[in-house]
Amino acid sequence: MNRRYQILASLALSALFLSPVAHADNKAIAADEMEAYLEFVDYGGGVIFAEQIPKDEWPKMMVIDARDAAQFAKGHIPGAVNMDWRQVLAKRSTIPKNKPVLIYCNTGSLSAQAGFALRVAGWDNVRILQGGMEEWKAKGGFDAASKATSKAKH
């Protein structure tokens, strides 16, 4: 990502979401900076469907379950690490930049926020699992990826 837009987006994210007191002037500046970021970022914001990921690629990725610990304990994608969506920036030193990172929650909305924060912070390798855990289970988990790969080969 262009360094200028990375800096602008980081400032915008801080101004919009992290500062306890936002002033009207700061909101206008932040909105302009965020607008510049949104014009630059790729279409889809890094969203991917489970069936687009071949089964043998899953072990090569860091998979982050962005739900809380109780939800993670009830079931998660095998190999996933639990990292509450609010903690991804605080724990960013544990998230690699040199291999694919997939983040998910129940439906995709909270992981999209966490993924957006990481992308603004410079992680271009982050993808959000479309539909989250619910869609992954509904489509058959790893079996959906295997079926999609088999269909593509025929």
**φ and ψ of 114, to 5 deg:** -65, -40
Q: Has 105 been annotated as catalytic?
A: yes
Cα separation of the two ends of the chain: 36
**φ and ψ of 47, to 5 deg:** -85, 140
Total residue length of the chain: 154
| 3-class SS of residue 95 | coil
Give the CA dihedral 135, 41, 23, 14, nearest 10 degrees: 70
The one catalytic residue among 102, 105, 126, 145: 105
Structure tokens at 6: 């990375």
Q: How far apart are CA 151 and CA 72, in angstroms?
A: 31
Active centre residues (catalytic): 105
